[in-house]
Amino acid sequence: MRKLFATCLAVVACSALAWGANEYPLTEDSKPQEGVPQGEVKGPFEWNNSKIFPGTHRRYWVYVPAQYDASKPTCVLVVQDGLGRANGWKIPTVLDNLTHKGEVPPQIGIFIEPGVVPAANENAEARYNRSFEYDGLGDAYARFLLEEILPAVGKDYNLSTNPNDRAICGASSGAICAFNVAWERPDEFRRVYSTIGTYVGLRGGDAFPTLIRKYEPKPIRVFLQDGENDLNIYAGDWWNANQGMLSALKFSGYEVEHAWGEGGHDGKQSAAITPDAFRFLWKSYPEPIVAGHPPKRRTDVLIKGEGWELVTEGYKFTEGPAVNAKGELFFTDIPNGRIHKLEADGSVSVFAENSPGVNGLMFGPDGKLYACQNDTKKIVRYTEDGKEETVCEGQPSNDLVVLADGSGYFTDPNNSKLWRWSPSGEISLADEGVKKPNGVIMSPDQTLLNVADTDGRFTYSYQIQSDGKLAYKQRHGHLHVPDDTYSSGADGMTVDTLGRVYITTRVGLQITDQLGRVHLILTKPGPGWLSNCVFGGPDLDTLYVTCGTQLFKRKLNAKGIRPMDGPVKPPKPGL
């Protein structure tokens, strides 16, 4: 009994210590202050007609600061989990005090609850959407805010549309939701307050630390909070996951601050530090938040200050960029059946037209421009003056490569086939079974053939044999895919002198090493389909990409190759 009593005392003592460690008193900034103008919280308002989350009902409240001026665009603060979370953090009072002191700008607060699909009848249960809306990756919740809630609130208040003027906050699943909104749409939200964030394997959120390390940095400022006694359950360890987020953000050069404590999965510490978190999020305002520059990576192709630059636009669908020996760039506009040429002065001319369904392009060792003319089921080539010649015919085509002997390979995505043409123009089946083979490119030494599968998450690698046949097929490049599909959208590809493969995909331009591992993901430059890429410029260090109706370029710390110039042996890869 003495032993049991002593054990109980020890448990009580430890519990008391843990309780004491988890006590975080509020500062004066979280308490009403005499002489400080108070804003007004209005609501609740109902939102029951969502198109993005059909059938859901939810409430939201709007905080209007005392300093609100309807003639000026006002900053915006979105808080997940509604008025309960906002009051738990004392946000209305905190904003009153910090705005009065000039430490944060006046801002309209939108405190919104997750959706619920009401029960079908009295004997049924409702469908609660919180985890679906908050824990999932992808842009659905961001679109819900941007297309539904902000426009609704904007009917009554002058909300700023500047991403530098928008912050978003949340706790637990609401925290990963807040971060994901800014991650998906940094062009709309750039300030994130995340507490006890659920960056674990509930709905794929455990991928975030890896994605942060691989994507080029985005213009986001983040404040993280968690306690060492947070949850540790089937989905993961919250404490370790939040530390992993901090490590990844620092690795990639983000502006990030954190507050670690000894608490559990609760709002005690976060309520106490909310004023400091808001000061950090809004420090130096209105100076814009910009993307940081990461320390040296293994794949170190980013150049500080160099981003995507629009070259030309106004086409129906751009594809097939190719560069000749002079460094001149050519690309296709498929629906119009045209091949365009980018002139040295930046103007664009028509190189060839009346080329039905023209798609992938590549210059051959003969200096001629080879093209997939899909609508005529031909591979054609063009002389320097634009005269068209038939290389082979009889099969649909999408993209192609040309070998030194005048033979080549082309993809046929609709029929899941890869074809070869011989130097004499005879067509033979090279492979079949890849679901939707699309982009195709050779390794720098021209011994391996890489093929993209638009409907899968892998690229395929073959070894080219002396007789032109393909051997040793394997799933080689492991790509990242969006949360809502298994389809990578892998399309066009190019390579650099180090053997890295650049692949256009749904999530951006993914760069794999020679072993097929994604090291870096470049953000898509525009909203259209990212269809193809090639290195150009005098030094072959400018990456051109076709994206929807546009053509973009970007200078990189890398040098591409032109297959027409012959094999280039890459260095032995690091394992």
Average pLDDT, the chain: 94
Of the candidates 116, 89, 126, 565, which has an alpha carbon nearest to the alpha carbon of residue 365? Answer: 565
Query: In this structure, which amino acid lies at residue 100?
Result: H
| Digit-coded pLDDT (tens) for 504-538 | 999 999 999 999 999 999 999 999 999 999 999 99
> pLDDT class for 497, splitting at 50, 70, 90?
very high
Superfamily (CATH H level) for 41-281 = Alpha/Beta hydrolase fold, catalytic domain (3.40.50.1820)
pLDDT at 19: 36
pLDDT at 5: 37
For the chain, give every domain's residue range.
41-281, 309-563
The secondary element (H helix, E strand) that includes residue 389 is strand 388-393
Q: What is the rounded average pLDDT of the residues 154-179?
A: 98
Q: Does the pLDDT of residue 403 top 50, yes or no? A: yes
Q: Crossing angle of helices 91-100/268-281, nearest 10°? A: 30
DSSP-derived secondary structure letter, 375: G
Give the chain's count of helices (H) and strands (E): 10, 36
Q: Does the pLDDT of residue 7 top 70, yes or no? A: no
pLDDT at 9: 35
When computed from its CA atoms, the radius of gyration of the chain, rounded to whole angstroms, is 28
Burial code (b: 16+ CB inside 10 Å, e: under 16) for 456-480 equals: bbbbbbbebeeebebeebeebbebb
| Percent of the chain whose pLDDT exceeds 70 | 96
Under 8 Å between Cβ of 178 and 135: no
pLDDT at 296: 82
> pLDDT class for 21, splitting at 50, 70, 90?
low
Structural tokens at position 174: 């609401």
> pLDDT class for 295, splitting at 50, 70, 90?
confident
Pairing outcome for strands 378-382 and 369-373: antiparallel
Contacts 24+ apart (CB under 8 A), 470-473: 470/418, 470/420, 470/430, 470/431, 473/431
| Digit-coded pLDDT (tens) for 22-80 | 689 999 999 999 999 999 999 999 999 999 999 999 999 999 999 999 999 999 999 99
| Digit-coded pLDDT (tens) for 297-309 | 889 999 999 999 9
The backbone region for 406, taken as left when phi is positive above 0, alpha when psi lies in -120 to 50, beta otherwise, is: left
d(Cα 239, Cα 231) in Å, to the nearest integer?
Answer: 7
pLDDT at 23: 85
CATH number of 309-563: 2.120.10.30
Sequential DSSP letters for 283-308: TTTTSPP--------SS----TT---
Q: Does the pLDDT of residue 574 top 90, yes or no? A: no
pLDDT at 344: 82
Q: Does the pLDDT of residue 13 top 50, yes or no? A: no
> pLDDT class for 17, splitting at 50, 70, 90?
very low
| Residue 197: how many other CB atoms lie within 10 Å | 28
pLDDT at 6: 42
If one compares 8 and 127, the residue with the highest pLDDT of the two is 127
Of the candidates 251, 317, 308, which has an alpha carbon nearest to the alpha carbon of residue 508? Answer: 308
Sign of the alpha-carbon dihedral angle for 437, 438, 443, 447 = positive
Q: Does the pLDDT of residue 457 top 50, yes or no? A: yes
| Digit-coded pLDDT (tens) for 228-272 | 999 999 999 999 999 999 999 999 999 999 999 999 999 999 999
Q: Does the pLDDT of residue 485 top 50, yes or no? A: yes
pLDDT at 294: 83
Question: Tokens 């150009």, residue?
Answer: 536
Q: What angle do CA 460, 465, 470 make, to 5 degrees?
A: 35
| Digit-coded pLDDT (tens) for 304-358 | 999 999 999 999 999 999 999 988 999 999 999 999 999 888 999 999 999 999 9
d(Cα 538, Cα 177) in Å, to the nearest integer?
Answer: 44
Of the candidates 371, 375, 374, 376, which has an alpha carbon nearest to the alpha carbon of residue 402? Answer: 371
List, edge to edge, every strand of the sheet that includes 542-547: 309-313, 550-555, 542-547, 530-536
Of the candidates 508, 564, 505, which has an alpha carbon nearest to the alpha carbon of residue 535? Answer: 564
| Percent of the chain whose pLDDT exceeds 90 | 92
Structural tokens at position 497: 């002198």
Sequential DSSP letters for 78-113: EEETHHHHHHHTTHHHHHHHHHHTTSS--EEEEEEP
Sequential DSSP letters for 152-197: HHHTTS-B---GGGEEEEEETHHHHHHHHHHHH-TTT--EEEEES-
> pLDDT class for 372, splitting at 50, 70, 90?
very high
Under 8 Å between Cβ of 190 and 164: yes
Under 8 Å between Cβ of 149 and 112: yes
d(Cα 403, Cα 393) in Å, to the nearest integer?
Answer: 18
